[in-house]
């Protein structure tokens, strides 16, 4: 579940969106060590896990340690943004020089 929170934070996703993205993206499933047939934690489960950690002020400490470990190995995790883009072919406009 901690990995779910990492994905959620680094990709700026809501609880509902992280549930959807785990179901949709093989890269997320691979990062979480999941197979296609494995159950995906729902938004309520993610929210509950995070809130339980917040009650003991552990969320900030966990992420501080996570970033510290990454830095020890020469990495820096930055927030990302998912963009869904579609290429659409448009008719070419032929302008005649008159």
pLDDT tens per residue, range 22-79: 999 999 999 999 999 999 999 999 999 999 988 888 888 888 888 898 889 888 877 6
Q: How far apart are CA 72 and CA 31, in angstroms?
A: 20
More confident residue, 89 or 46: 46
Supply the range of the domain harboring residue 11. Answer: 2-72
Query: Quick one: tokens of 25?
Result: 């993206």
Question: Is position 95 within any domain?
Answer: no
Question: Is position 80 within any domain?
Answer: no
Cite the DSSP H helix spans in 11-42: 15-24, 26-32
Question: Is position 6 within any domain?
Answer: yes
In degrees and rounded to multiples of 5, residue 66 shows phi and psi of: -60, -50
What's the predicted TM-score (pTM) here?
A: 0.69
Domain count, the chain: 1
């Amino acid at each position: 579940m901690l990995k779910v929170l990492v994905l959620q934070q680094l990709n700026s996703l809501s609880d509902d969106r992280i549930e959807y993205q785990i179901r949709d993206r093989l890269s997320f499933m691979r990062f979480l060590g999941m197979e296609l047939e494995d159950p995906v934690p729902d938004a309520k489960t993610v929210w509950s896990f995070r809130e339980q950690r917040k009650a003991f002020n552990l969320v900030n400490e966990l992420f501080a340690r996570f970033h510290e470990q990454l830095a020890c190995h020469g990495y820096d995790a930055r927030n990302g943004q998912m963009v869904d883009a579609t290429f659409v072919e448009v008719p070419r406009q032929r302008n005649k020089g008159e």
